[in-house]
A and B are shown apart, each in its own frame.
Chain A
C-alpha cells in the first residue's frame, strides 16, 4: 500500500468514497498527477495500473494535470515521475498530499541551473 504511514493518509482508504482521482505512473514515483480537480482536504484516490490504490488527503487546491506528493519530501530530495525518472528536486520541505510545482521544486538541468 502506498504511503501507509504518512500522516495525511486516510485511516480507512476507500477509493470508492474519494472526492478526486490521481494517477501514479510507477511504484518508483513519489508524485501522482491529478486526473480530476481537488480542493484542500479532499480525499484523492491514487490509481496505479487500474488498481484503485490508496487514498490520500490533499493539503491544497490542485488542478487537473498538476502533481501531489505521495510522501513527505525533504528539501533537496529528488522528485520522481515517469517510472522513477528525476524531474527536479524539492526546493523546500514538502508534506505528503501537498501540491508539487514551481513553488517547491527546481529543475535539475546539468550546467548549474538552480
Chain B
C-alpha cells in the first residue's frame, strides 16, 4: 500500500481533510450560516432543515450526528450558529475535546440576523486561520475509516462494481482499517449471507432482526418500489432480493465485528454494519458522523452524490454510449465490463484512488461542489 498522510487529531483519529465547518443545527439559523459560509474561504456548510421540537429518537440521533460532525477528524475548526446555545455549546465542547477550535454564535445574544452575520464572519475568520496551520502527518492503513455506499445501481453494480469494492474492503480490514456499511432495508433477502459472517450468533441474530425491522416498516410492495427505483429497473435490476444480493457484495468477505446505531463510531478496527436508511444522503451522513473520513460509493447509472464532510470516491463503469457518466466517476471500471481487466486489478486501482483521495487528491464531486447531508428521521413531528 502507498504511504498516506493525514491530519492527526487529539483523540488519535486521523482526517483526510481539514475543513472549516459551519453548522446550523436548527432551521432558524440557516440563512445566517449560509451568509457566513459565503463570506469566508472554503467553508463547508451543514444546515439542518428541521432541528427544532424534535422528540424521542430523533432528538438523540440529530444531536449525535451533528456532534459527530463537529468533532469529525476531517474538521479543522467549527462554528455553530444556533438559537439554542446550550445545544451549540454541547457540540462545541465535543469538538474542543478532540483539539478542534470551536466557536458558538448565539443568535439570541446577537439580537438580529444582520448583527449575527458580521459577528459570525469575524469568528469564522479567526477559526479559518487557526485551522490553516494544521499539517498532514504520516499515517497508516489502520488510521483509515471508510464508509461504503452504492446508489443508482444497475445490473452490473452487484456483478462488477460491488465485488471490486468488496475486495478493497477485505484488503483494508486485513490491514487494520475500520469499514462501515449501512442501508439496512436494502439487505433484505441477503441478510442470511451477512449473518453467517457475524463474529457471534448473537450479533448475527441482531443484524437479521435489524434488517427485518426496517423492512417491516412498510408493505413489501411499497418497499420493493421504494428500494428498487426506476433507474435500477432500467439498469436491469428486477427484484429487491436481487438488489440486496448485489448490494452486500461491496462488504467483501471479512467477518462482521459489530452492529452500530446511526452515527455511532466503530470502537475498534474491523467491519461494521450501521443501521441506516437506504437513501444516499441519510445513509452516508450516519457513516460520516460515525467517523468515516472517506466514502467508497459505487454507482451503475452515475449517481452524482458526494458528502459534504467526507470525500466520496465514485466507482462506476462507462462505455462509448455512456461517456457523460464519466463526469461523476473517480474510478471507471469500464475495462472490467469490457473483459479487459480482472476484478483483482480493478480492486488495486480503487484502493490506490481511495488512498490518494485520503491523502488530499480531490474527488470529482468535491471539485464540482456536489455536497449532500441529511440526518435520518425516525419519529413523528410534534
Contact = CB atoms under 8 A, between A and B. Distances in A.
Candidate in B154, B239, B245, B300 with the most chain A CB atoms within 10 angstroms: B239
A35 B156 CA distance: 8
Given A33-B155, A81-B245, A109-B223, A65 B238 contact: no
Nearest to B157: A65
Contact of A33 (B156, B223, B249): B156
Contacts of A86: 241
Given A33-B155, A85-B245, A87-B245, A64 B238 contact: no
A85 B246 CA distance: 11
A33 B339 CA distance: 13
Contacts of A106: 239
Contacts, number: 92
A113 B339 contact: no
Interface of B is mostly: loop
B224 interface: yes
Given A81-B245, A102-B238, A107-B239, 17 more contacts: A25-B159, A34-B155, A35-B337, A36-B337, A47-B339, A65-B155, A65-B300, A81-B242, A85-B190, A86-B241, A88-B239, A100-B238, A102-B233, A109-B188, A109-B223, A109-B240, A113-B221
Interface of A: 21, 23, 25, 33-36, 47, 63-67, 79, 81-82, 85-88, 100-102, 105-113
Interface of B: 154-156, 158-159, 188-190, 216, 219-221, 223-224, 233, 235-242, 245-246, 249, 300, 319, 337-339
24 contacts: A21-B339, A33-B156, A64-B156, A64-B236, A64-B337, A65-B155, A65-B235, A65-B237, A66-B155, A67-B155, A67-B238, A79-B238, A81-B242, A85-B241, A87-B189, A87-B238, A87-B242, A87-B245, A88-B239, A100-B238, A111-B216, A111-B219, A111-B220, A113-B219
